[in-house]
A and B are shown apart, each in its own frame.
Chain A
């Protein structure tokens, strides 16, 4: 067969990770993804630039919170037990915001998956982004697919050694920078950078840089698609979010089959548009053949769409032999019906409603978030103390949380107890001060004349009010007396 007679070269490439060829016992077969050019490749470059920029630059954003708080926009202050996200400051007892955020992320992922398949996997997952970056570096140093295959076959000498060394050094540099950016989220970034450079940063910083560098290098540069195929649970779960109407990267078999080689001048009468050039397999970073239909290994990166479109353009056929489509449409077209896009389905409505509900609840709690919190613990031993004049005294531990960045003086009121005498041990009732951003702990003594104590339990409400802003926090408690 004369290859030059063909308009489109047929590549000798096997989909090594095709499900029925993959054995748990076999060694990994190396994939040499070919470079793709097109709209989706462009989109992926853009998303890579955006996500990497966010990751590397976010710790350097500054956000003025006043004199008593750090000015880093995103800071996870573990020793100080505070998380700072722009205007939000999260205390340890408010981790449910993080839970809410995770729920939002999960439901968002469900919605996206039920609409357009594994968009997260294909475009935004760190594993995909970093692997893409590492493959780009590899291509820069060693050349594209065929050059890399040739290089791998060469003996370990001269130019090959130099190229491999340069590649791995570049990979390691990226990995160390990735780990380096990670630690900046946990400390003041400019200060930590200075410490890191002169070798005076906390040992844990170096440890985490090394750890993150190691995992980035291992997972992104070495393990690559094996992480998605063998380690990640999401490919197994995602099938539950998809249905026959989900748009995903699809080989339109109704148009492509029966496939066959194409020579210039051939007509397409009585055959499909697929010329079996295997470009879609060559560009696939997962090592599969999209023409085998939907499969677990496919991360929906859409590079095969770009590759196929390029070929279709060259042989003057319409683009979109591989496209975002689904099996339901293939059946519709086989039956002579029109292609339909049905984003509004029970499943997507449900996910959208949950997303909006959780988002609304989170926004409401965030907007009405108190800057004062009060926790009251009544002494249980003894429940009450009888004083010499017969009056009954109860003791409580008050914990007043001042989340404002300024010291606050609180007014204390007790509701529901007649003739109560209020006293604080070691503090002045008329001047209950809690420093900025701190928890104040006080021992409260409530004394009630014997005649006023009618029940063994009298419900009461303890209220603290910020003297300036008049924001109040209350806590229900009990006054205990003799049976």
Chain B
């Protein structure tokens, strides 16, 4: 080759040049280190083997499967299965235990709290809030005021069957609209609202509250009780405590009496498995307000 005519010996390095020259800069003919070359060949061999053993060549809708049949999805599925299997014992025990019995078992409780926390975030937080703090119309699950009862069993049933849901065993209570049903007039509703406020010492107009008392006794005590303390069989809230699901001011109260309230909680039986529902019940029970 013509280029080789330009080869000459470089005294500094003791090496020949390749004969290539650019702007007076000559390229030394330094061979790649032997170890580097062997590593390079090894990677080629490895790559060939890898392409045969593992999914490698992209096709139109998939890739060559590789003789080992490995897939990332398969790996994830195997990992999930392993986790499921490692929990099988606890799941079986939780499925067999009653909610209260599981609440008393510290191992089952820890399992339920961990599972319930993530199940709550996925299924419940949309309405009840990520901290179960609730919002108007959606109860706060941290407090000790329960419309349908706060024992592990009662919470468990509320989740399973729902409230005013389409489930056959759904919890159901009816707060009618006294104005829409034309039972009470606006003035009377105002008086009843004032009386209800007076039950929790929130009234500012004693005369009006006194006027509301007989109306309350006539129309409300059947569900809310003589003292307005509610009835968990019917989901009738305690009106004498400090907690108001739909707002603590008189306007919200008057609206409730006038138009009624029919909040719905869906039934989770059939959507979530039995163990997850039990985990949710125990998680909510341990938020602080459980009975």
| A residues in contact (CB < 8 Å) with B | 23, 25-27, 379-382, 385-390, 393, 395, 425-426, 443, 445, 450
Known A-B contacts A23-B12, A381-B133, A382-B131; the reply to A388 vs B30 at CB < 8 A is: no
Complex contacts, B241 vs chain A, CB 8 Å? 388-390
Cβ of A425 and Cβ of B142 under 8 Å apart? no
Complex contacts, B170 vs chain A, CB 8 Å? none
Complex contacts, B270 vs chain A, CB 8 Å? none
A387 to B291, CA, bound (A): 13
Known A-B contacts A387-B144, A388-B243; the reply to A382 vs B28 at CB < 8 A is: no
Known A-B contacts A23-B12, A425-B286; the reply to A388 vs B145 at CB < 8 A is: yes
Q: Which of A380, A385, A387, A390 has the most CB of B within 10 A?
A: A385
- The residue on A at minimum CB distance from B237 is A388
Complex contacts, B15 vs chain A, CB 8 Å? 25
A363 to B273, CA, bound (A): 57
**Other A-B pairs beyond A390-B242, A395-B142, A443-B286, 17, CB < 8 Å:** A25-B28, A26-B12, A26-B13, A26-B14, A27-B14, A379-B131, A381-B130, A381-B131, A382-B129, A382-B142, A386-B242, A387-B243, A395-B287, A425-B286, A426-B106, A426-B109, A426-B286
Known A-B contacts A395-B288, A425-B288, A426-B106; the reply to A388 vs B144 at CB < 8 A is: yes
A382 to B286, CA, bound (A): 15
Query: B84 within 8 Å of A by Cβ?
Result: no
A450 to B14, CA, bound (A): 92
Complex contacts, B238 vs chain A, CB 8 Å? 388
Residues of B contacting A: mostly: loop
Query: B137 within 8 Å of A by Cβ?
Result: no
- Closest Cβ of chain B: how far from A412's Cβ, in Å? 17
Cβ of B288 and Cβ of A393 under 8 Å apart? yes
A25 to B289, CA, bound (A): 77
A381 to B289, CA, bound (A): 15
Q: Mark B116-149, 1 if CB is under 8 A from A, else 0.
A: 0000000000000111110000001011110000
Cβ of A387 and Cβ of B289 under 8 Å apart? yes
Can you list 22 A-B pairs with a CB-CB distance of less than 8 A? A23-B13, A25-B28, A26-B12, A26-B14, A381-B131, A385-B133, A386-B143, A386-B242, A387-B144, A387-B289, A388-B143, A388-B144, A388-B145, A388-B241, A389-B241, A390-B200, A390-B241, A395-B142, A425-B286, A425-B288, A445-B288, A450-B242
A25 to B130, CA, bound (A): 65
Complex contacts, A387 vs chain B, CB 8 Å? 143-145, 242-243, 289
A389 to B132, CA, bound (A): 20
Q: How many residues of B contact A (CB 8 A)?
A: 27
- Closest Cβ of chain B: how far from A479's Cβ, in Å? 14
Complex contacts, B12 vs chain A, CB 8 Å? 23, 25-26
Complex contacts, B287 vs chain A, CB 8 Å? 395
Complex contacts, B30 vs chain A, CB 8 Å? 25
Complex contacts, A426 vs chain B, CB 8 Å? 106, 109, 286
A23 to B238, CA, bound (A): 91
Complex contacts, B132 vs chain A, CB 8 Å? 382
- The residue on B at minimum CB distance from A450 is B242
Complex contacts, A23 vs chain B, CB 8 Å? 12-13
A409 to B106, CA, bound (A): 18
Cβ of A388 and Cβ of B286 under 8 Å apart? no
A382 to B132, CA, bound (A): 8
- The residue on A at minimum CB distance from B131 is A381
- The residue on B at minimum CB distance from A441 is B110
- The residue on A at minimum CB distance from B110 is A426
- Closest Cβ of chain A: how far from B250's Cβ, in Å? 18
- The residue on B at minimum CB distance from A386 is B242
